[in-house]
Amino acid sequence: MKYSDITKLKYLAQDKNSRSANPAVVRNSTVFFKSMQELINHENLVKKGSDVNFYEYGRAGSQTTIALQNFITELELGYRTFLTSTGFGAVSLAIMSICRPGDEIIVTDAVYAPTRAITSKLLKDFNVKTHFYNPEDLTTLEKRINKKTKMIFVENPGSNTFEFQDLGKIIELAKKRKIITAIDNTWGTPLLIKPLKLGFDMSISSGTKYLSGHSDVMLGTLCVNKKVYEKVKFCNKLLGYRASPDDAYLVLRGLRTLDVRLNKHQENTKKITSFLSKQKKIKEILYPFKRGSSNYENWKKYYSGSTGLFSVVIQSKKKNSIYNFINSLKLFGIGQSWGGFESLALYQSHVIQRIYRKYLKPNHHIVRFHIGLEDSKDLIEDLGKAIKKIK
């Protein structure tokens, strides 16, 4: 019988051996075998890519991390999942597994800043050339494809400016040229969109964010199809990527309520964006709520829902006025992460990507919000008082 994702979230990873609702936290480095032959046989199983209940050495993981890997693979409808100690670890594992000297990679211009750094700076030292494309004009992507293009790296929506791309067109372009595709799907989560089913080769999520949902975990997931599995497996083992069993357990626990939390994030965010759209100092809301816009249409085409992360463009002649606005918020924390139960606000004064320039007109400022699980009425009242600080 096939179950919905909502049901899977509740029943996947139950521990049949201990008869527990959640798997045990298994911490290990040394793993014992009854004989050398058993160890060798087990190593051969792992080399073949067979499903196993444990690994021969703790660096590869434990029963707890295997439970999370299987959980994510089931949600993503993928072939295998790799875990890393941070979300960005999953980004770097995806890129380093595929790109080699002489290759070229094409990356969305609105990508997460560390991803931009590893592609434009670190890869350059390894003779891998990076091109950036405009997520709002996919002809810029097509023009950058050549015989050396090895990977197209997508982040959807764009980091901080939230452009939604026509993902099907990107996949179509890549498949024609036999180019590997990867997507950072942290915003959407595997609950709202299935990138591998759509045609991507690699799907990345920061478990630190919505998968955990409680702002106390660092973890990354990289789910892949069979086509790229061996390359990622090889790189993963050599580089020693590993998530801790304790963090894996916390993400497993958080996943049980992912659907409930995302529904509340979306519900609150709709109310907040509706309120902000009526404020004169807010010039634009970077969130797919305007029917008829390309962002709305592409979001509606590929996603089954929305989340709580978005940005606004505020008009003010004084940067300190933006600081005063954020500092006066009582219910919004000031912090770098997102995806947890609490609301956050952050002034994006550091943005440098070319794509941001259209938003950063004179006296325009980008503020990113994450809307948490609080009472939306309280959040709106808090924002209303703080907006008065904007001069």
| Domain parsing of the chain, residue ranges | 5-27+62-255, 258-387
Identify the residue with better confidence: 170 or 22. Answer: 170
Do 257 and 213 touch, CB atoms closer than 8 A? Answer: yes
Residues 133-153 have a mean pLDDT of 96
Q: Categorize the per-residue pLDDT at 80 as very low, low, confident or very high, splitting at 50, 70 and 90.
A: very high
Q: What is the mean pLDDT of the chain?
A: 92
Q: How many CA atoms lie within 13 A of 331 on its CB side?
A: 20
- Secondary structure, 3-state, the chain: CCCCHHHHHHHCCCECCCCECCCCCCCCCECCCCCHHHHHHHHHHHHHCCCCCCCCEHHHCCHHHHHHHHHHHHHHCCCEEEEECCHHHHHHHHHHHHCCCCCEEEEECCCCHHHHHHHHHHHHHCCCEEEEECCCCCHHHHHHCCCCEEEEEEECCCCCCCCCCCHHHHHHHHHHHCCEEEEECCCCHHHHCCHHHHCCCEEEEEHHHHHCCCCCCCCEEEEECHHHHHHHHHHHHHHCCCCCHHHHHHHHHHHCCHHHHHHHHHHHHHHHHHHHCCCCCEEEEECCCCCCCHHHHHHHHHCCCCCCEEEEEEECCCHHHHHHHHHCCCCEECCCCCCCCCEEEEECCCCCCHHHHHCCCCCEEEEEEECCCCCHHHHHHHHHHHHCCCC
Q: From CA 266, how far away is CA 372, in angstroms rounded?
A: 9
pLDDT tier at 50 (50, 70, 90 boundaries)? confident
pLDDT at 352 over 70: no
pLDDT tens, position by position, 214-240: 999 999 999 999 999 999 999 999 999
Q: What is the pLDDT of residues 341-351, one digit of tens each?
A: 999 999 986 65
Are both 5-27+62-255 and 258-387 of the same fold? no
Does residue 15 register a pLDDT over 60?
Answer: yes
179 Cα distance to chain centroid: 21
pLDDT at 46: 83
Which residue is it, tokens 């709520």?
289
Residue 138 CA to residue 108 CA, distance in Å, equals 10
Which CATH number is 5-27+62-255 given? 3.40.640.10
Average pLDDT, integer, range 149-169: 95
- pLDDT grade for 361, boundaries at 50, 70 and 90: confident
Beta bridge pairs of residue 365: 314
Residue 362 — very low, low, confident or very high, per pLDDT cuts 50/70/90? Answer: confident
Q: Quick one: pLDDT band at residue 294, thresholds 50, 70, 90?
A: confident
What is the rounded CA–CA span in Å between residue 256 and residue 252? Answer: 7
Rounded to an integer, the average pLDDT of 82-105 is 97
Evaluate if residue 1 carries a pLDDT over 70.
no
Q: State residue 16's pLDDT score.
A: 72
What's the pLDDT band for 356 if we cut at 50, 70, 90? low
Question: pLDDT at residue 353 above 60?
Answer: no
Print burial letters for 4-21: b (CB count within 10 Å at least 16), e (below 16). ebeebbeebbeeeeeeee
- Which tens digit of pLDDT belongs to each residue from 316-337? 988 899 999 999 999 999 998 9
pLDDT at 270: 96
Give the model's confidence band at 180: pLDDT under 50 very low, under 70 low, under 90 confident, else very high.
Answer: very high
User: pLDDT value at position 227?
Assistant: 97
Mean pLDDT value across residues 209-214: 97
Q: Are residues 225 and 180 in contact, defined by beta-carbon separation less than 8 angstroms? A: no
| pLDDT score, position 14 | 80
Q: Is residue 357 scored above 70 in pLDDT?
A: no
Instruction: Give the span between the Cα atoms of 316 and 12, in whole angstroms.
Output: 49
CATH number, span 258-387: 3.90.1150.10
pTM for the whole thing? 0.93
Which of the residue ranges 5-14, 26-35, 57-66, 133-142 has the most confident prediction, judged by mean pLDDT?
Answer: 133-142
Q: For the CA atoms of 272, 277, 282, 287, what is the dihedral angle to 10 degrees?
A: 70
